[in-house]
Every structure is written in C-alpha cells, then in structure tokens.
Structure 1
Amino acid sequence: MEIASSMTDDVLIVHGGTPIEGEIKVRGAKNLVPKAMVAALLGSSPSRLRNVPDIRDVRVVRGLLQLHGVTVRTGEEPGELYMDPSRVERANVADIDAHAGSSRIPILLCGPLLHRLGHAFIPGLGGCDIGGRPVDFHFDVLRQFGATIDKRADGQYLEAPRGLRGCKIRLPYPSVGSTEQVLLTAVLAEGVTELSNAAVEPEIEDLICVLQKMGAMISMDTDRTIRITGVDRLEGYTHRALPDRLETASWASAALATKGSVYVRGAAQREMMTFLNVYRKVGGAFEIDDEGIRFWHPGGPLNAIALETDVHPGFQTDWQQPLVVALTQASGLSIVHETVYESRLGFTSALNQMGAHIQLYRECLGGSACRFGQRNFLHSAVVSGPTTLQGADLVIPDLRGGFSYLIAALAAQGTSRVHGIDLINRGYENFIKKLEDLGAKVERPA
C-alpha cells in the first residue's frame, strides 16, 4: 500500500495479539457537546457545560465561538466550560474558514448567528467521508425560516432581513444534523415550528433539555414530531452532558475482538440498551453498576449474527464499524446491512488485507429493503469467520473506521502501522493514553 508522505508524521505503531484489560473513562458525547456549545450563543447570559471531553470538535467550536466574541474558559471542575455570549460580534471570514474546514458543525451556527447578528457566513465544510450529508438541506431549512442565502466563491453568506419565522418542515429522513438545525433556529423564531420525521437520538433529547433549561418551549410526540414555540429571549444554562455511548461501544468491541476486559467508567445503560442486546447475542459479556459498564470476552467461540443499522432506537451506524472487527472472530457467516450511510462499509477492504473474509453486496441483505437498495451502493456485508488477522499498514478513512482499524491492529498478530490517527482525536479523548492504560503495546515512530 502506498502511504502519502504528508501522513508519515501522523502514525501509531501497534504491536497486536495482546488482550486489552483495565479501566478507562468516557466523558460527554461528541454528538452532543459541540451542539450544546453552539446553543450557548442563543443565551443572553453565560452558560456552563460539564463533562466536556478534550476532542478536536470541541476545540473547533470553542475557536469559532471565540472568533464571534464569546468568552470561553475552563470552569471550576475538570471538563467544565464557561461560555459568555454577551458580546457576540461578526467574525473575520478568513479566520472562520481556518477553523471550520475540518468540521461540519459550523453550519449549525447559522440560526443562532442570524438571531444574534442578522447575518452569518459558512465556508466549505469538512467531516468524515462516509456517504451523503447534503448541506443543501440545511440551507433549504433556513430559507423556510426566512433566511436569504448568497453563494459566493468563499462560502455562503446568510441574512434574515425580516427575522426568522416558524414553519412546518418534514424531513425526508430522520437526519440528526437537520433536526439540530431546526431546533437551534426555531427556539427564537417567531411563531410555532412543527418538525415531522425528526431524529430522536439520545443526543437530540439532551440538546432539547439544554434548550428547555434556557427557556425554550419544545414538545416531542411519539410519532417523531417535534413542536417548538418560539420565545423572545433565552437565558444561559448549566448542564452535564450525557456520556458518549458511541465511544463506549468502541471500547466494548475492542475488548471482544482482543479477548480482553474493559471497564468503561462513565458509561450508562439506558442509551446503550440496543447495543448491549447485540453484544450479548454475539457472545460478549457485560456487567453494569452505578459508575459504568464492564465489557469482556467470556471465552469460547463468538456467535455470527444478522445485523441491520437504523436510526434510534435501532442499532446505531457508529456502532457498526467497531463491531464488524469483532465479527471477524465469530464462527460462521454474519450479515451486516448498513441503512444510514451508503459508503460506510468501504473500511472493510483494509480488514480483508489483514486476513478477514468480508464480501460486500449492493443488495439489501437485512430484514427489509432500504433507500440504498436500488442505488448501486455496496451497503451490505457478509463476514465469514473466525479468521486470524495479520498486522498491516493502514490508512484511516474516517473517525469510526479509524478506531476500527485500531481494534483490528490490536487483535492482529504482528505489528501494524496506522496512518492518519489524528482523525481519531475528533471523537476519542486521549485515546493513545487510554490504550496504554489498557496494556496495549503502542508507540509513536522514533
């Protein structure tokens, strides 16, 4: 495999074949904390957010808030942020571009900035290449609220000359990002906003809790409909972010794939119930107490399963990639049907180079057809196991795929060189130290 020279300084050497054992801690969810930070822009008084992980997405949003005049500093306890938005101001376009290029989160600043300043600028957006995430839908939503959008060479310029007004919106798919966009825009918009076919992930509910603490009026119905009655003013909030269930599942899958045992302090059962059922079905063991969850391989063969990803409360797409590595060690044929992102199974080609037997298919191999079934996407996989993985040179494709490569390298015989590991910092706090704490044999090149 040819490795780009620009990535040679961003490498982790992994000596595999040793079970990981010990304890690590997870903090607030990557899919909530940056969005709660954006929500602080809407307040007329300071906010305090607790249980904040030190990850790149948090640093990106912190920089963007500071560029817009928000005072951001660490709080009194570890993992606490204090944010004062009393002096929000227009930011320099070049500075915004420098901060925003590595993340898609800045598009969520549009609604709050339109409310506070009457205008916003969004440059080109980054993020993981795992399939379509059409930002145009975000702009369509903002137009329905009354925003005007001027597309220029350096990005999108938005204004709200007559303010923002509530509207009726139906999502074609329960998109998390689109639901967040509506929530962050509707809370200060005039009138009532009705959002149907909304995402209802735990992180969405936690964001709603944040906004309700600020004074928002939001109700959720059982049919995925969210109604937001706009208010004239929001205050700051004090909130402890829910734990990161996606990072928790990654460490659980690592314990299973390496025949190890990991206690994840800070993990919570409620948001993990669907994952825990599948984990037990595969043959993994877990034990829950008031402080966290311990995951381990109980010995003996693992079980092949049929798995289909879905929006919450289904099996989350971000759980799929790490678990697929463990499924390479299960006896028999496992079937994985990815229904959320059309390109999320591309990471398996590197696993095959390590010795896995994974075949991709364009057909829907799950229990039901999905929106990708007639669109020529390789979105189903058959995993044949168990197979012995061998160390290899690996180039990280995306956040969850990257952590999956780490799991594969830990489970493999021999040494792997994992390139592009800085991408993992987007969503995994201090992951190299956590690996070391679990007894993993990892090192940076000399």
Structure 2
Amino acid sequence: MDRIAITGGARLQGEIAISGAKNSAIKLMAASLLTDEPLRLTNMPRLADTRFLGALLRRLGTEVEEVNGPDGPQTVLTTGEITSAIAPYDLVRQMRASFNVLGPLLARTGQAKVSLPGGCAIGARPVDLHLKALEALGAQIDLHEGYVYAQAPRGLKGAQIDFPFVSVGATEHALLAAALARGETVIGNAACEPEIVDLADCLNAMGARIEGAGTPVVRILGVDRLKGATHAVVADRIETGTYALAAAMAGGEVRLTNTRTDFVESLLTKMEEAGVEVERRADGMVIRRNGHRLAPVELTTDPYPGFATDLQAQFMALMTLADGESVIRETIFENRFMHAPELMRLGAEVAVAGGEARVKGVERLTGAPVMATDLRASVSLVIAGLAAQGETTVSRVYHLDRGFERLEEKLSACGAQIRRIRGEGGQEDEE
C-alpha cells in the first residue's frame, strides 16, 4: 500500500486550482443512464471514486470516455442501450454512492437489481430513505440475499416525498428517479447542498423540469425522455476548505482559484474567528497566516449551509495548535472522530465523549507514523503533518485517493515537503 510522507515546517506560498466536486461528479455520471444520448461532463476530477463508478457504468452498458478538452479533463458517457440492469456487490461495495444507479435504471428500464452497499467506517448511513422514496414513486421493492430487486413495469409516477431528516444521497436519488416519472413529484425536507443544485442544473440541461433545487422543497415535473448535454461539474467545496485549512495550518499565503467562497462561508467564518486572514475574491480566496497562535473555536457540524461534517476532521487538526480549548460537536455521523487517536500520536490533546471532542491546543506537534481510517481523516493527518516537527508518514492513503486529485502535486507546488512512497518499502515519488 502507498504511504505519504510529510516533512513539516515549510510555509506555503502559491496558488492552488480547485478541482470539480467528487460528490457531484459521481451523481452526474449516474444521470447518464437516463438518456441514450452522450452526456459530456467538463471540469471532471480524476479520482478513485469516479473510476469505480465508471467501471460499474460500463458493466451496465455505458461507454465511458475520458478526454482532455480545452478547459481541462472531461468525461463523455453514452448509454445507447442498457445492456444489464444488475449492479453487483463486487462493484457497489467499493463506493456507497454507486447505489444511486438504482433509480435511473428503474426509471429507464422499469427494473433493476442492485446490491446493498457495504458497511461504512464513519457510520451506518442506511439506504432506507432511498428505498422509501422509490416506493413513493410506485416502485415495488424486495430485499433478498443482500440485493434490492426493484420493479416498475408501468413506469414511475410522481408523488409527494417527505424526508424525516435531511439526506443528500436520498434527495439526489429522488431527483434522478423522478426526472422520468409521470406527473409531478414534490420533495419535502430536501437537502440544500450545492451538489443538489449542480445535479438539478445538469438534469435541466438534459431536458428535465426541476424547480427549487437548493431549497427545502423541490418540484420535478416528469418528462418522457431526456437528451444529451454538456455540463461543467461544480467546484469541490470540501477540497476548497481542505486546502484553506492546510494553508492556515502551515502558515504563509495561498490563493485558491476556480471555486466559490459562498460554498464554504461557514468554514471561513470559523477560520476568521480563529485568527486566520481570509480575503474573498470573485474566483476564490486568499488564505494568510503569519505565525501567530490561533484562537480556540467552538463549532457544531450541520447540514448545508452549516459547518460541513466533511471538514470537521481537517478543522480539528487546525485546532490542535490553538491557544486554548476548542469544542467540536459532530451531529451528522456517529463515528467521525476516529482521526482523534491518530492526531494524538502527533502530540495533540483530544478528549472524545460521544458526539463531542474537546481539543486542548499544544505549542507544537511532532511527526510520527499514523494511519488513515476514512477519506477526510486521511487528509486531516496530512494537514497536521504540514505543521509537525520532523516527518509524518500516513498509511492507508487509498482513502485519500478516493477524493483528492493530485494532492501531493498541489501542495508541493506551494512549498510543502511531501512525497508518496509506492507500495510496502517501495520506490518513493518525489514531489
């Protein structure tokens, strides 16, 4: 397995262009199942997760072509015919979001057999809301031997779907399925994340009729068919926040481009509260910190536009160097403090009790071998390593490769001393 080694202490100076959003790209790829015409996605990230979904879509009959256009990486997906409506466990287990092919398969072919996703390190994340939404649209659902068998031989029909709590994945799944349902679908208590808006914008470009995306009530008037389209993937707000926190952790001045400040305003407000200088610009932001101790911060994760759970681990890393005690409350996932023991290996003082972590800032961190437990935890350890004295090695970085494109390249271009070590005792890639 690859590892990443960081020699801490180098201040960051330079510019980082933010990639397209992983959490949006994989749902946009699933939307290609809804039409027999090509869907061209620009500003596409090249990640393990997009490769996983590409492999699954090929199994279902989609032609997946990765090209480099004048505006950067693109992916063209063409599903002239769905040759299989079966999504097997060996592919779905690699990425939970691949379960969202169920709705498009059902909407287009009237049937689907999709494996239930496997367990998740950061919490249960059940798919019951997804299935209830599809049932509301008229699908017949049976669970057998770890698979979802879904049928809608007469097609899906519009319905009122009221979620008991906000779920991004279930909202996206309902959007995908309802686009081809007969009549009007109304989604209540819908998620409001930018990725929801991005998916709705893409579907509308394909001929769907969706209103209210980005608000708690979304209306979809089903259409008979969707056509091909070209759509640019929205900027990755989690990557944006991660590099903003990396710059604050290491110190220096970093400009982030190809992104939007409103996507991460809740984070930027907390960073300013901690004493980090943030300059908001039309195409991104500039993050500055010039050596002073940070102030402690209290925060609670919440659905968008609240503080993103996907940035909680990275912010905890920053607070390990604050002058005082910070309090971080996690309300989205029940097991999302697994990075805390690894940060403690670097000298951090963190006490976890239930859904609350108290972080007592220390004057310095010291490099050590650490292990990633999930995607966001892995990058929090990289961030901590940027400021730790000596060398930090992060193992199990396949987690990181799921969601961060060219991380070592982007950080090293700003002066970070970071390199990838290929395989067990393998060759090092200097960045």
TM range (shorter): over 0.9
Q: CA deviation at 1:91?
A: 5.7
Letter in 2 for 1:396: A
Evaluate the alpha carbon distance shift between residue 127 and residue 292 of structure 1 in structure 2; reply closer, same or farther with a 3 A threshold.
farther
Q: CA deviation at 1:92?
A: 6.3
2:356 pairs with one of 350, 365, 380:
380
Percentage of matched positions with identical amino acids: 37
Letter in 2 for 1:191: G
8 A Cα contact 1:146 1:162, kept in partner:
no
Q: In the alignment, what sits opposite 1:302?
A: 294
- Residue 388 of structure 2 is aligned to residue 394 of structure 1: no
Deviations 1:389-440 (A, max 9, x none): 1112211111111100111122111222211011111110011222322322
- Give distance in 2, aligned partners of 1:222 and 1:419: 37
Normalising by structure 1, what TM-score?
0.89
1:335 aligned counterpart, secondary structure:
strand
1:107 pairs with one of 87, 99, 109:
99
Q: In the alignment, what sits opposite 2:197?
A: 205
Q: In the alignment, what sits opposite 1:419?
A: 395
Q: In the alignment, what sits opposite 1:80?
A: 74
Q: CA deviation at 1:196?
A: 0.8
1:90 pairs with one of 71, 84, 90:
84
Evaluate the alpha carbon distance shift between residue 407 and residue 335 of structure 1 in structure 2; reply closer, same or farther with a 3 A threshold.
same
8 A Cα contact 1:149 1:156, kept in partner:
yes
8 A Cα contact 2:298 2:328, kept in partner:
yes
Letter in 2 for 1:45: E
Deviations 1:95-119 (A, max 9, x none): x433322101221111111122222
Letter in 2 for 1:394: V
8 A Cα contact 1:285 1:298, kept in partner:
no
Q: After TM superposition, list the pairs within 5 Å mapping 1:214-363 onto structure 2.
A: 214-220=206-212, 224-361=216-353
1:407 pairs with one of 383, 389, 397:
383
Q: In the alignment, what sits opposite 1:29?
A: 21
Letter in 1 for 2:358: V
Letter in 1 for 2:108: R
1:295 aligned counterpart, secondary structure:
strand
Deviations 1:5-43 (A, max 9, x none): xxxx32222222322332222121111111111112112
1:349 aligned counterpart, secondary structure:
helix
Q: CA deviation at 1:284?
A: 1.0
> Which structure 2 segments of 5+ residues have no match?
none
> Which structure 1 segments of 5+ residues have no match?
1-8, 362-377
Evaluate the alpha carbon distance shift between residue 395 and residue 221 of structure 1 in structure 2; reply closer, same or farther with a 3 A threshold.
closer
2:84 aligned counterpart, secondary structure:
coil
8 A Cα contact 1:43 1:233, kept in partner:
yes
Deviations 1:29-85 (A, max 9, x none): 111111111112112421111100101111112222222222221343321111222
8 A Cα contact 1:106 1:122, kept in partner:
no
Q: CA deviation at 1:197?
A: 0.8
- Give distance in 2, aligned partners of 1:398 and 1:190: 40
Letter in 2 for 1:87: E
8 A Cα contact 2:86 2:112, kept in partner:
no
Q: In the alignment, what sits opposite 2:40?
A: 48
Q: CA deviation at 1:124?
A: 4.1
Coordinate RMSD, CA, aligned: 1.9
Q: After TM superposition, list the pairs within 5 Å mapping 1:77-156 onto structure 2.
A: 77=70, 78-90=72-84, 96-126=88-118, 128-153=120-145, 155-156=147-148
8 A Cα contact 1:33 1:58, kept in partner:
yes
Number of aligned residue pairs: give it: 420
Normalising by structure 2, what TM-score?
0.92
